A and B are shown apart, each in its own frame.
Chain A
């Protein structure tokens, strides 16, 4: 009687183990790959839906963007990168050459590539009266080209209103014209 009970228990355990194993195998072989694929497809679908909405949105604002772009188009330079850096350096040199400042260094920083444009940066270190530095700032800010002062590091020197300035100036350039 006891042996029969033990046998039945062993049988039940074996059936349970086999069921668990079979379920695991079926899940691994049949369900899981499909679930993975479904997850990828769902993500892809979501991205496509966003892209569709964005595309439709772009089409709606196309005229307005074209209008704004036509206004900014004269600011766009379409020459090669090397020439653009040389032109940018020349522009800055023209600005500080007329001022009574001592240029300690001019360093071209690595350009940053964005999807539709490139950002060029130059670090200029100069020493002189703060008035001359302000003139330089004014010259940069009044320039019609898309140049911008990204960072200014100003340190006072021994003489009153004499400063040592390190400034990073950036410019946006385009490599091709659409």
Chain B
């Protein structure tokens, strides 16, 4: 079975001691293990973008680490992790600056935490990671093999038991991993001297029973037993367990090791041994999504900080680039919008230009004609107004002043005069009702003014007539 392109956030890589490389990719909670012939084949796949991974997890052999149990007055694992730094000198006779460490919770009691500390020399870590770095892989997470296996068992077969004895069956090198409340408690490698499954199982059974008895004090419930093996060995193991079901072993959950996909279908590697490494790789990949494994990361703090800073810088650069692009797009949008309007203006201008002089001449003529028409309008209007004033003004009214002002389309007439009495003055507008032009005359002011021998009423009238 070959694989197609893989693109993921997290993947794990495990370089086997005999050459092939096992990669496990986390594809939305589905884990795929891919085996490459060697590092070069793996590098080629990366170069060809067959595998595109942002963050890598790698493992170091547990044999290169020192595991110590420490009791610390801490409230949480994060607090304990910080305290371990000061305990290193008492745990290992090597200067702490030459060491890296990780820790996981074992148990807690009376404000004290029992933590399992995994210590490793920086030089050894650098040496282990060297082959990865040589092909351009800088892992973001490095944990011990046994911790990865513990994670694999815990996530594959979730049980209610506080404690579990997990056995990875492999001809030649079996591993027993003890976990307590989902955390790695201890591990042991068992060397087998035979290829016979039943004989290996006999050897394992006594070890498992021994471990089970050891764990009796750790949890309240029964200790769960999980046994993982390659598919080819499962039938034989199950037969063995059926034959020995009445022993002290109890119920055993048999799990299948992860299946392996071979890159470029070159299925000629030592597949039997690969299952062990594939299980470690999948455990590593699973640990990236599990809580409680972040403090087992053996990468030095300064390196992690550097990686974080690098990632942050990249983020800043990308954000700045995108922001600049957005601003540029915004500016370009407006520029294009304005350019479109300018183009339309130019088009209209081009349409106007050839006929503009004709239009100007027409406009000039029109204005002049209008001006002359206006000059020739309203002729005879003043004569008519004076005629109507003579004809319709009552004898009791005498007019002393007339103001005739011509506007654009109307003529305003203001009349000042005298009357015998106020009533006559106010009846003046009524008297003019029959006039053709001055029928809308209004008295706007009238007042009695004393004169020698009596008084007269002075009034002011206003009339607006439309131009003819």
Contact = CB atoms under 8 A, between A and B. Distances in A.
Interface of A: 26, 30-31, 34-35, 37-38, 41-42, 44-45, 48-49, 51-52, 54-55, 58-59, 61-62, 65-66, 68-69, 72, 75-76, 114-117, 119, 130, 134, 137-138, 141-142, 146-156, 170-172, 174, 178
Contacts of B398: 156
B318 interface: no
B379 A116 contact: no
Nearest to A166: B403
B431 interface: no
B157 interface: no
A72 B338 contact: no
A75 B378 CA distance: 18
Please provide the 6 A-B residue pairs with the shortest distance between their CB atoms, ordered closest to farther.
A34-B334, A146-B375, A152-B404, A58-B362, A55-B359, A58-B359
Given A52-B348, A151-B404, A34 B331 contact: yes
Given A148-B375, A170-B375, 10 more contacts: A30-B330, A31-B330, A34-B335, A51-B352, A72-B372, A130-B386, A148-B406, A150-B406, A151-B403, A172-B375
A174 B367 CA distance: 11
Interface in B403-456: 403-406
A111 to B, nearest CB: 13
Contacts of B383: 134, 137-138, 141
A48 B338 contact: no
Contacts of B126: none
Contacts of B352: 48, 51-52, 55
B331 A30 contact: yes
B400 A155 contact: yes
A116 B356 contact: no
B368 A76 contact: yes
Contacts of B355: 55, 59
A58 B360 CA distance: 8
Interface stretch (B8-16, B162-170, B267-275, B339-347): B339-347
Contacts, number: 146
A154 B359 contact: no
Given A58-B358, A69-B365, A76-B368, A141 B379 contact: yes
A62 to B, nearest CB: 5
A57 B378 CA distance: 29
B291 interface: no
A171 B374 CA distance: 11
A154 B399 CA distance: 10
Contact of A153 (B358, B365, B376, B403): B403
B389 to A, nearest CB: 10
B382 A48 contact: no
A49 B365 CA distance: 22
Contacts of A30: 327, 330-331, 334
Contacts of B348: 45, 48-49, 51-52
Contact of B338 (A41, A134, A171): A41
A148 B378 contact: yes
A76 B372 CA distance: 9
A156 B358 contact: no
Interface in B24-56: none
B199 interface: no
Contacts of B401: 153-156
22 contacts: A26-B330, A30-B334, A48-B352, A52-B348, A52-B352, A55-B356, A55-B359, A58-B362, A59-B359, A65-B362, A75-B372, A116-B368, A116-B371, A134-B386, A148-B376, A148-B378, A154-B401, A154-B402, A154-B404, A156-B398, A156-B400, A172-B372
Interface residues of B, number: 49
B191 interface: no
Contacts of A52: 348, 351-352
Contacts of B403: 151-154
Contact of A178 (B334, B361, B369, B406): B361
A38 B327 CA distance: 18
A154 B413 CA distance: 11
A65 B359 CA distance: 11
Nearest to B342: A41
B231 interface: no
B369 A69 contact: yes
Nearest to B328: A30
B218 to A, nearest CB: 34
Contacts of A34: 331, 334-335, 337-338
B364 A178 contact: yes
Given A115-B367, A156-B399, A45 B345 contact: yes
A148 B468 CA distance: 13
B339 to A, nearest CB: 9
B95 interface: no
B349, B352, B365 — most chain A CB neighbours (10 Å): B365
B380 interface: yes
Max count, chain A CB within 10 A of own CB: residue among B342, B344, B382, B403: B382
B363 interface: yes
A119 B367 CA distance: 13
Contacts of B358: 58-59, 62
Contacts of A115: 364, 367
Contacts of A134: 383, 386
B366 interface: yes
Nearest to A153: B403
A75 B373 CA distance: 11
B416 to A, nearest CB: 9
Nearest to B364: A116
A62 B376 contact: no
A48 B345 contact: yes
A25 B179 CA distance: 59
Contacts of A75: 372
